Amino acid sequence: MQLKNDLLIRAAKGEKVERTPVWLMRQAGRILPEYRKVRASVSGFKELVKTPELAAEVTIQPVDLLGVDAAIIFSDILVIPEAMGLDYEMVEKTGPVFPKTINNASDLDQLRVADAARDLAYVTDAIQLVKKELNGRVPLIGFAGAPWTLFCYMIEGSGSKTFSKARKVLYTDPQMAHKLLDMITQSTITYLKCQIDAGADIVQLFDSWGGILGDNQYNEFSMKYIETICNAITEVPITVFAKGAYLAREKMSSLACETIGLDWNMDIAESRKIIGDQKTLQGNLDPCALYGSYDEIAIQTKSMLNQFGSHRHIANLGHGVYPDTNPDHVRCFIDTVKNFQFNS
């Protein structure tokens, strides 16, 4: 189906666009009362993720209510560990918790490479519903967690400031680490291809915990597997967002991906110099800027846009939108991007 608004896809490919496209990480839910109403109708977050009709509804809400230039499928990065045989729970005000974790090489025998077509059909069903409902209005973004980030949760069992248990394995049993990372990678490739077959127009890899690794370890235990995924996904553009992975930016310039996401701590001019002109950059307004006044949001957004320039940029935040952000402030950010004229 021909997209009526293909700004995001053209920007990712480095083609000329009439204006900078804009969307927000974690736009599907969190800030919208309409999302909270749907969320209250089910027993928990996972039920919402696994009910295609409801997941489709909250995916489309930001397109209708905020005016973003893309939808992103409502799901969670931890559906892959679950499809591999490691269940998780989403605990209110705590986050994800794995009742069982991977502690040694023998635990890998309890896992499998995910059969995405079977085990994650609820995601692809939701994608198909979204595509039908959108009817080409905007592109649909599919996504997955990067292998290192999923590894962190599968070893640690929950969120952590240091992920020291996961990092310990890199020193004590690197062979096991690579085996698990490879299983996650193969699962992720299949999963992303299923999303694309179902209708995803572009996909994004989230390496949320890439920044906790040093340069050499990032190259060995994260970048290596991101590169494998990027090489395998040839059907649609792919975006790589690695929060805090400052030292990896130069290596990212050679990835077989179209777009590199920047977090809000990454200097725009420095990042462009490091990454080069052959990649689109995405980001990177500080999510806390949206707590400011409308005038302040406009000032910060225009400053960001002028720094990125008119070529190869997708406007976004430098991380996911925070759940207590006023939706009207989000609309101010989006409208400022849409109405922006360079050097204004």
Domain ranges of the chain: 7-243
Full DSSP string of 9-64:
HHHHTT---SS--B--TT-SSSS-HHHHHHHHTSSSHHHHHT-HHHHHHHHHHHHH
For residues 41 and 342, which has the higher predicted lDDT (pLDDT)? 41
For the chain, the C-alpha Rg in angstroms (whole number) is: 19
What's the confidence (pLDDT) of residue 93? 78
Structure tokens at 116: 């995405």
Cβ neighbours around 125 below 10 Å, total: 17
For residue 286, the SS3 value is coil
Over residues 28-46, the pLDDT tens digits come to: 988 999 999 999 999 999 9
The pLDDT score that the predictor gives to residue 92 is: 82
Distance CA 249, CA 194 (A): 28
Give the pLDDT mean for 40-69: 97
Mean per-residue pLDDT, 236-262: 95
pLDDT for res 194: 98
- Residue tagged 């101010």 (tokens): 332
Residue 296's Cβ-count burial label (10 Å; 0-12, 13-18, 19+) is middle
pLDDT score at 200: 98
Please report the DSSP string for 180-228 in residue order.
HHHHHHHHHHHHHHHHHHHT-SEEEEEETTGGGS-HHHHIIIIIHHHHH
- pLDDT for 96 equals 94
CA-nearest of 302, 250, 256 to 276 is 250
Do residues 296 and 336 touch, judged by C-beta distance below 8 A?
no
Q: What is the DSSP string of 148-170?
A: HHHHHHHHHSB--SS-HHHHHHH
Predicted pLDDT at 342 = 82
DSSP one-letter code for 320: P
Residues 6 or more apart whose CB falls under 8 angstroms from that of 181 comprise 147, 148, 151, 221, 225
Give SS3 for 245: coil
7-243 maps to which CATH number? Answer: 3.20.20.210
Q: Is the pLDDT of residue 235 over 70?
A: yes
Peptide bond into 284 cis (omega under 30): yes
């994260």: which residue's tokens? 222
181: which 2 tokens?
């990372």
Joined together, the tokens standing for residue 19 give 């204006």
- 198 vs 92, higher pLDDT: 198
Phi, psi of 326 (to 5 degrees): -70, 125
Residue 343 pLDDT: 67
Q: What is the mean pLDDT of residues 92-114?
A: 94
Q: Which residues are catalytic?
A: 26, 30, 39, 76, 153
The pLDDT of residue 203 is 98
User: Which helix (H) or strand (E) segment is 281 a member of?
Assistant: strand 280-285
Percentage of the chain with pLDDT > 90? 95
> What mean pLDDT value characterizes the chain?
96
pLDDT at 247 exceeding the cut of 90: no
- Closest by CA position to 201, among listed 302, 49, 72: 72
Phi, psi of 128, rounded to the nearest 5 degrees: -65, -40
pLDDT at position 315 over 70: yes
Mean pLDDT of 179-184: 98
As given in the structure block, the two tokens for residue 65 are 């209510």
